[in-house]
Amino acid sequence: MYLISSELFDFSSHRGLSTGIYTTNSPEACHYVAHEAMCNIIVVENEIQLQKILKVRERLPHLKAIVQYTGHMKNRYEDVYTVSKMSILLININNQTNIILNLLYIA
């Protein structure tokens, strides 16, 4: 997970542990940190940082998703989201949860 002086640090560390990877790290250094930390979500700043993770993602068995929080992705990738797309997914999950809870309450 990339943690840069940003309000995203608060957002990304609310529900678990987080670790930092320097933006100057090589793809192999990123792999080492992400693998040892058993990261299942990695938050990257931009396309440059995303490409580093994509180079090593096949060797990260715990990785479930990558979230890019600035800029636009040049291509679409499986399990790679922008912050705006992730926000939509979270809203949908929250709405579905509320519907289920309401149904359970009514029953």
pLDDT of 58-107, one tens digit each? 999 999 989 888 888 889 898 998 877 665 555 656 666 666 666 666 65
0.75 exceeded by pTM: no
pLDDT of 37-51, one tens digit each? 999 889 898 999 999
**What is the DSSP secondary-structure string of 14-66?**
TTS------TT--HHHHHHHHHHTT-SEEEESSHHHHHHHHHHGGG-TT--EE
